[in-house]
Amino acid sequence: MSRVPAGSSVVIIEDDPVFGQALVQRLRLAAVATHWARTVADGEALLRRHRPSLVLCDIRLPDGDGETLIARLMPELGGVPVVAMTAYGGFEQAVRLVRAGADDYLAKPFPVARVLEKLAAFARRDAAPVEEEDPATALDAAGWRSPPMRTLQAALERVAAADATVLLTGESGAGKGVAARRLHALSGPRAGAPFVVVDCAALPAGVAEAEAALFGRNGTSGLVEAAGSGTLFLDEVAELPPPLQLRLLRLTEERSFNRPGSTTPTRLHARVLAATNADLAARVAAGALRADLLFRLSVVTLSVPPLRERPGEVEDLAGHFLHRFSGGSASLGEDAQAALLAHSWPGNVRELRNRVERAVLLAEPPRIGTADLFPEGPAAEVPAPAEATGLAAPEPEPGSLAEARDAAERTHIRRVLARCGGRIGDAAEALGVSRTTLWDRMRRLGLQSR
């Protein structure tokens, strides 16, 4: 069997409950962090939150076409390999999928060993991948020149020397991880110590395995201890299951922890930072998040503004990523620069980074044009939510009670969607319904997902 690189992760978009569950179980047994979405909407929301090692996407899904989803998301996925799954395989479809941007396809059913082989093969293909932002470059000026980011910078400087827990909030892809690294780099003596990231959504599904990853087991240290006297960054902290929430609460309150199976406490020397794009108050109200944990994590709460609120940084960031991925060998054409400024960036800085990365990989050097950045079509300005502009188009005066109720519900869903940046999953959570229920309700009310 092919050797799968440590830390590999897979996002599966598959509606078949039996086949999907089998894939998840087998991949997790192979120590591959696996996330499973059953619809186009859930898959899109998941991929806007996480950057996996591989995407497996079915073609026929209950709420849309996987082929269309691949074409729409490929520019935002950067260099992440995408493998389409289909029970209706054939040469013509394979050509269409590859043209849409997929790296390969698998005809169902297939053994999970094929997935592991592809993980290993793609890792070999990208033997020298570009890593995430390094702490040594965390103070790079790109993306920090606008007034909102200068305000955030001033706040980071004020709290840098303290040991207080800091909670970073903001939309997915806005740069919470970059802000966390920047805070670490500003933290004096801590800056030379480890910066350890815990992706709470990618921890093993079993509580015992997740605790072992965090706190160690059988004499081996976990991620918490690996942070030493540096920084422990809990990304997507709202995704922690209740048992781990209790362990984290004790860790932040007592500043010590016990390894599983040990009665000897180990002192926590690291500073704790956390980040989330979830509505934590709504999570607490729904019973999905402990109120006392939220209190401990939010000693200091800082918000990272979305990219649409700092449009002057788009070209600056694009140039930063272009140099990073091309080593200075590629440049943006004037048409590409105009297209970047016209786009509304629903995926924030992560979308910009991924579009530039993929353009560098696939474009004909040295000039990158609009079609390289936006292969799905010309970048168009997406109107801001009516709530943000204050120019909401009035709905027709409702007649019956049912029409009035629908109008009120339509308005409320729009507001929640605007607050959640158009993310169906987050909006459903804030509204206290399932994604499927919200999706069906929006269809009945004639609302678009964006």
CB 171, CB 348: distance < 8 Å = yes
CA angle 43, 46, 47 (to 5 degrees): 85
Phi, psi for 60 (deg, rounded to 5): -105, 115
Give dist(CA 371, CA 290) in Å, integer.
Answer: 47
CB atoms under 10 Å from CB of 206, counted, come to 11
- DSSP 8-state symbol, 4: P
Give dist(CA 194, CA 233) in Å, integer.
Answer: 10
Q: What confidence score (pLDDT) does residue 152 get?
A: 95
Give dist(CA 327, CA 154) in Å, integer.
Answer: 31
The segments of the chain whose pLDDT lies below 70 read 1-2, 75-76, 78, 88-101, 124-141, 205, 365, 376-405, 418-422, 448-450
Q: What confidence score (pLDDT) does residue 360 get?
A: 85
Length of the chain: 450
264's tokens:
């000897």
For the chain, how big is the Rg over CA atoms in Å? Answer: 22
Query: Which pTM does this prediction carry?
Result: 0.65
Tell me the DSSP string of 88-137.
S--HHHHHHHHHHT-SEEEESS--HHHHHHHHHHHHHHTSSPPPSPPGGG
- Go through the domains of the chain in sequence order and give each one's CATH number: 9-125 (3.40.50.2300), 135-303 (3.40.50.300), 311-373 (1.10.8.60), 392-445 (1.10.10)
Give dist(CA 346, CA 380) in Å, integer.
Answer: 12
- DSSP 8-state symbol, 366: S
Tell me the DSSP string of 11-80.
EEE---HHHHHHHHHHHHHTT-EEEEE-SHHHHHHHHHH---SEEEEESEETTEEHHHHHHHHHHHHTT-
Cα end-to-end distance, the chain, whole Å: 43
Amino acid code (one letter) for 414? R
Q: Using one digit for the tens of pLDDT, what is the confidence trace for 385-425? A: 333 333 344 445 545 656 666 777 777 787 777 666 667 77
- Distinct helix (H) and strand (E) counts, the chain: 20, 16
Q: Give long-range contacts, CB 8 A cutoff, 24+ apart: 257-261.
A: 257/215, 257/224, 258/215, 259/215, 259/216, 259/217, 259/222, 260/208, 260/211, 260/212, 260/215, 260/216, 260/217, 261/217, 261/218
Amino acid code (one letter) for 99? R
Does the CA dihedral 297-172-6-242 come out positive or negative? Answer: positive
Q: Which residues pair with 167 in a beta bridge?
A: 274, 301
CB 431, CB 416: distance < 8 Å = yes
Residue carrying structure tokens 């800056």: 191
Beta strand 9-13 with 54-58 is parallel
Contacts of 393 (CB under 8 A, 6+ apart): 386
Does the CA dihedral 41-34-196-282 come out positive or negative? Answer: positive
Q: Name the nearest CA neighbour of 305 among 171, 143, 416, 419.
A: 171
Q: What confidence score (pLDDT) does residue 13 get?
A: 93
Give dist(CA 122, CA 427) in Å, integer.
Answer: 34
Q: What confidence score (pLDDT) does residue 385 get?
A: 37
Give dist(CA 257, CA 280) in Å, integer.
Answer: 25
Q: What confidence score (pLDDT) does residue 93 get?
A: 65
Q: Using one digit for the tens of pLDDT, what is the confidence trace for 247-298? A: 999 999 999 988 777 777 889 999 999 999 888 888 899 888 999 999 999 9
Strands (E), 249-403: 256-258, 265-267, 271-276, 300-303, 331-332, 367-368
CB atoms under 10 Å from CB of 404, counted, come to 12
